[in-house]
Structure 1
Amino acid sequence: MTATAEPDLQALRARQLELVVRGDRNAALLEAGRALEAGLSLADFVFEVLAPVQSQIGLLWQDGRITTEQEHIATNIAEILLTLAASRHTPANTGANLVLCLADRDHHNLPARMIAELLRLDGHRVTFLGAPRPGPSLTTMLEKLRPDAVVLSCSLAMNLPGLRALADTAHESGIPVLGGGRGFDGEPARARRLGIDAHAAQLDEVEDALERMSGVAPAAASAPSDRAQQHDELAAARGPLVEELMERIRWRAEPLLPRPLRDPRILRDYTTNLMRFLEAAVLCDDRILADYTAWLGARLATLRASPALLPTILDITQERLALDTPIAARTVARTRTSG
């Protein structure tokens, strides 16, 4: 059999980006298949091709250079490519028995699926449950699967609060919990504030984290902190609060709004996301809101919004929250002054 040349990863990344942006599923599969046939490993395909391409897709969407529909098509193709690459490997199933779950509303499940396949490649048995509802049905599933640990993945920081109830459900069954994903941004403190036993920022840290948790009783539930209680109050009031903030924004900042945000549905989406990132910041750490507003400022710039719009929205939000949620108001104030 003739030896096949080792794939040029930089060229393969560029070609895959071109094809998925174009929505050319068949050509993307053909190109990837050739590279895998030539000996490209699953780990290299994930870390050097799939993940960088998906990151670039996100940036293109943020800059307004591709549409939301194109982003969805690209992600769908990437999921098929991951399945293709993973199908070429037979897991050893000699490692830990793991259950992998996503945070509620964490719709970007491709990063977690990548991790699941790489954990299988390392010999772990992984059951991917997607984003299950915490409670009795999840408890029944965990009792059936009897995992050594539950792995909770979150790719977007605003969804971190949804991991608390999942961790509680796992702990009620005596199962330790490991957290990871971009939503944690490499911060173990975020995991601790969610009641998660250990955190792994990189794949090669998972093994050590599992060993540290082995034989150690899961964390006991602690009394809710002031920040946790305020998070719960904000989350419970989100719907009416978003509507009130929208009214205040339209009243005070309508001349600053770009055309898309004058559509009530779009303005509601932006306001809701701002509140959900704020809720996560109140529960975990202020930087969650600071990072989001930095992203939001760049996004609004692509919509040709006035530079005064975001500071005005933050001022409006701070003033409203100061009435009954002072911790949240101070979080907004610190973000406003740091920006």
Structure 2
Amino acid sequence: MRLPGGTISAVQLHALADAAEACGDGDLHLTSRGNVQLRGVTRPGLAARLTDAGLLPSPSHERVRNVLASPLSGVSGGLADVRGLAASLDLVLCSTPELAALPGRFLFAFDDGRGDVASEGADVCWRATGSSEGTLLLAGGDTGRRVARADVVAVLIEVALEFCRVRGAAWRVAELDDPAWRGTPVPRTGFSMPAGLIPQDGGGYAAGVVPRFGQLSATQARALAEFGTALVTPWKSLVLPDVPPDVFARLGFGGEALGTTACIGRPGCAKSRADVRADAVFRPGLRAHFSGCERRCGKPSQSYVDVVAEAGGYRIDGRWVPLDEMEGKL
């Protein structure tokens, strides 16, 4: 389920929890594009449930509704408030017939100036340089083109339409040979999503929720829905604005960000060579991604220790290590 800007209402979160139990494996799986997956779907009725919850607004454009936005924008920090831009873009995107032809990997982003989603490899991104102006990035490169916040939705749609016209067999902007689609590379910021209570600029607290492997049970999802609208981040976590600290503490999610990530592994994926989530090593400060095969599904965009399953063990940054020695080699 694509969630432009990561926004999901309490009603929709409840609906997904119900759908996970009725049709899937009972869990909600957060993705590295700020979306939610339901896995193990073997029972009918899912599409009707999602449509009723407003999560499938345009079947013709569903695969191209890929939009990131800085999840802490308007909550804590940032140069500009990008809230609402993703929803506005989604409306125009879904009402533009030609854009149904965009490749399903094409990614839009709105960065509030802190550099968080600008580092996520979007094909076209507006990164704020002030409260009402920003710069246009293509495939992570700064084009030097300055765009007012008021015009940004129209400009990103214009870029997407032009990409459709010139792309040929390319799926992403980075695959185009034309130098006109290049910009000056922008360094990554090394942004890290906070966990636990986050002081809000306007007073009170938000909360960063970082579930292990980005996986929420239906029961946990319903508990989070009691706080109202949530924001799913590209780092398999959530932001809950306006959270009473004492109530959040009773949920037991803790306040430490988890640096270890993993693909779904066995038994959820037939291509995986191991149950990587059972084998994963957790240690404070360790940033590692465990993969069941060379596809490395769900890998983070920031630097990490690369751990890939092989027979009897794992290859860690290219070095083979037996399973019983994993703890000491990471």
Give the TM-score normalised by structure 2: 0.26
Higher relative contact order by CA 8 Å / sep ≥ 6: 1 or 2? 2
Between Structure 1 and Structure 2, the one with more strand by share is 2
Between Structure 1 and Structure 2, the one with more helix by share is 1
Give the TM-score normalised by structure 1: 0.26
